[in-house]
Chains A and B, each alone.
Chain A
Amino acid sequence: MEYDIEVTVNDVRYKARIPASFTLLQLLRDVLHLTGTKEGCGIGECGACSVVFNGELVNACLVLGVEANGATLRTIEGEAKGEQLSDLQRSFIKHHAAQCGFCTPAMILTAGDLLRRIPTPTDEQIIEGIAGNLCRCTGYEAIVDAIREVARDAKGGAK
């Protein structure tokens, strides 16, 4: 069966008609063509599809599209303000925290969510915070460095 739904993604309101079996990830990628959100495993192991759903980080592969009816979402497409990259995006570039880049959109959203909850995390908290996001390239150190620097700069005031 198909259902009419409305979602707000990165401040844009969308209407769509989707089968009940579509995941939120399929809605974002295949219907709304927001392909920054990646599909890795499709079963909640890798975290590559992490998005912010009504203010909470979720794996888009484990949510039905119809469950998102009326929801407000943030995806990687909403991270930069026009040409202006976010602090996390700039720090990821500076620290070479993206290699193949497949995990990066979700890693940045996860890091953003972590820093909203814990503005000055310890290294332990950063590692715990990204535990649900697999990266097969970097070995994670560069990613932790990038997140740590954003947290430290925010603590020290605007730069």
Chain B
Amino acid sequence: MNFAYEKPTTAQALSRLLEQGGAGASLLAGGTDLLVQLRGRLIEPKLVIDLKGVEELSRLDHHDDGSVTIGATVTANRVIDDKRLSGAMAALPHACSHIAAFAIRNRATIAGNIANASPCADSVPPLCVLDAEVELRTTTATRRLSLPAFIRGVRATVRAKNEYIAAIHVPAQPKGTRSFFRKHQRVRGHDLALANAALLHDPERKRLRVAIGSCSPAPVVVVLDDLFESLDAQEAARRCMAAIIPISDVRASAEYRTDMTGVLVRRLFDDLKA
């Protein structure tokens, strides 16, 4: 394996390198997925571009209007340690604390968790219910997409070869909004999800929704606004179980994943009512 390594210090230089590198360029943020792919020869880039030299991508900003911007190189542990990410956005740090183990969370980034597009990415269900947007940039243009629009399927996204994720934008949530996250895994700590789910409850706009991961090629968001008054967990679980299309693999059967999705949804309602 023989590739070049570049660590640009400005967003412009990064975009130019990516433009020149074309399909032979790989982006490196935390590296916790990329190095596994390099080792397994799943990818054989000519150029690896390290995003960590670009200062603006390392920002985790809370704006005056309550929205939050998570730069491309912000790690899971920085999100977990950010005490301001509570209340409405609590599901996000909670989910991040379930990503792999501590040492990996020191490197693994939220942007990378999304870009890798593994169906069991723990940060994805919370970001879905929070209506987060992915900001993609080229040398000349910027676009923002919702997560369901960005993630096309298993390890597939709509990111073009000359685009990079600059940040994830989480919009401000109405007062009183709360979010929760649940994950089912074989062993506690350092294991992938058999099913994971996040719930958002927004009393001001009477919004209630659940996003489910690990049970479909791309995340599934189930809008349950009509259950806002009743908070009927059984009915919510039934609809979520019907919305997913899980597979059977080494970790669990499709039937088990479906059952566990129902359990997770009912427990998310317990969290909400507690």
Query: Is there contact, CB below 8 Å, between B104 and A61?
Result: no
Q: Which residue of B lies closest to A42 (CB)?
A: B39
The reply on A131 being an interface residue by CB < 8 A is: yes
The reply on A144 being an interface residue by CB < 8 A is: no
The reply on A23 being an interface residue by CB < 8 A is: yes
The reply on B5 being an interface residue by CB < 8 A is: yes
B positions within 8 Å CB-CB of A = 1-5, 28, 30-32, 35-36, 38-40, 48, 50, 52, 100-104, 106-107, 188-190
Query: Is there contact, CB below 8 Å, between B35 and A131?
Result: no
The reply on A36 being an interface residue by CB < 8 A is: no
A-B contacts, 29 listed (Cβ < 8 Å): A1-B2, A3-B5, A19-B2, A20-B2, A20-B3, A20-B48, A44-B35, A44-B36, A45-B190, A57-B102, A57-B106, A58-B107, A59-B104, A61-B39, A62-B32, A62-B35, A62-B36, A63-B31, A63-B35, A64-B31, A64-B48, A66-B5, A67-B28, A67-B52, A131-B101, A131-B188, A131-B190, A132-B100, A132-B101
Given A56-B106, A64-B5, 11 more A-B residue pairs with CB atoms under 8 Å apart are A3-B5, A19-B2, A20-B4, A43-B40, A44-B35, A50-B103, A62-B30, A62-B107, A66-B50, A67-B31, A128-B102
Contact with B along A59-81 (1 / 0, CB 8 A): 10111101100000000000000
Q: Using a Cβ cutoff of 8 Å, how many contacts connect chains A and B?
A: 83
State in angstroms the CA–CA spacing of A131 and B38 once bound together: 25
The reply on A129 being an interface residue by CB < 8 A is: yes
Instruction: Give the residues in chain A near B189, CB-CB below 8 Å.
Output: 127-128, 131-132
Query: Is there contact, CB below 8 Å, between A21 and B38?
Result: yes
A positions within 8 Å CB-CB of B = 1, 3, 19-21, 23, 42-45, 47, 50, 56-59, 61-64, 66-67, 110, 127-129, 131-133
